[in-house]
Homo-oligomer: A and B are copies of this chain.
Amino acid sequence: MTLGHEFCGTVERVGDEARAVKVGDFVSAEMHVNCGHCHQCRLGQAHICQNLRIIGIDQDGAFAEFVKIPASNIWKLDAAIPEHYGAILDPLGNAVHTVLAGPVAGQKVLVTGCGPIGLMAIAVAKACGSSTVFATETNDKRRAMAKKMGADVVLNPAAEDAVGKILAETNGTGVDALLEMSGNPTAIQQGFKSLRAGGRASLLGIPTENVPLDLVNDVIFKGATVQGIYGRRMYETWVQMTALLKAGRLNLEPLFGERASLDKFESAFTLLQGGLAGKILLYPNGLPR
């Protein structure tokens, strides 16, 4: 099977019934394909379809020369959005989905984990009126990046008492929202300890094992709301993301590092494995201009 989970490119052929897509359109796509008839699809929760198939995982993906995508999943890129943003809409969608899963205007927010999606979440939260964005991250480069993306308070939980500092900065109350982007059990637990009573915890990061939660103190007595976040809402998230990008409300330039011709992909992958926080743009037809 051909891998390749994210996609942007130009439409080469369209089926008969695809009235909103034209050959030559520059497009991205939601690579989660829903069945359309299960309980969740009927309830407007297509992103958690019971028969979900993921292009690039469950079927041939975008690393081939051509990829076949249902017309309904195609997302036309607005001309006002810089072309290279087309390459990061999938993870940006994760970030937008997470941030906008609850109130954010005037809210104190904690982002645990500053990989690319965490960094994007910082920018989205600030653009949407968050009053204070806290971020925790053990990697130095990523912490520096978090500052660039607009985080107000950036903490290294390996070196300092992150929970204590967050509580101190919030008069002992804690943050209104936890946006969990790391999947790290310790980060998750610290996130919950930093959350105020009545707050919301939106969990996107994927732990690799069971996480022992202090349900009584961190969820029940707190009257907290915990949300599992998966994929992107189809297609509310795409609408919101496009609107924010088109309006120039999200400056994601710090995220883009190297740009290289696709044939240089090996050195790019080596860079990424070094824990780089940003994104490397690979151009199939050589670098632009």
Which of B131, B152, B228 is the one whose CB lies under 8 Å from A219?
B228
Contacts of A171 in B (CB 8 A): 39
Q: Which residues on B sit within 8 Å (CB–CB) of A240?
A: 105-106
**A276 is an interface residue with CB less than 8 A from chain B:** no
- Give chain B nearest CB distance to A267 CB in angstroms: 33
Inside 8 A of A19's CB, which chain B residues have their CB?
35, 37
Q: For chain A, give the interface size range.
A: 35 or more
In the bound complex, how far is the Cα of B238 from the Cα of A41, in angstroms? 12
Verify if A68 is at the interface (C-beta below 8 Å from B).
Answer: no
A228 and B229 CA atoms in complex are apart in Å by: 18
Which residues between 205 and 237 of chain A lie within 8 Å of chain B, taking CB atoms?
Answer: 206-207, 210-216, 219-230, 233, 235-236
A220→B206 contact, CB < 8 A: yes
Cβ contact within 8 Å between B203 and A220: yes
Nearest Cβ distance between residue A227 and chain B, in whole angstroms?
5
* Distance (whole angstroms) from the CB of A37 to the closest CB of chain B: 4
Contact with B along A137-181 (1 / 0, CB 8 A): 000000000000000100000000000000000011100000000
A-B contact pairs, 22 of them (CB 8 A): A40-B198, A45-B197, A104-B105, A106-B128, A129-B244, A129-B249, A131-B243, A152-B247, A188-B215, A203-B215, A203-B219, A203-B220, A210-B212, A210-B215, A212-B212, A220-B230, A221-B228, A223-B228, A224-B228, A225-B226, A225-B227, A226-B226
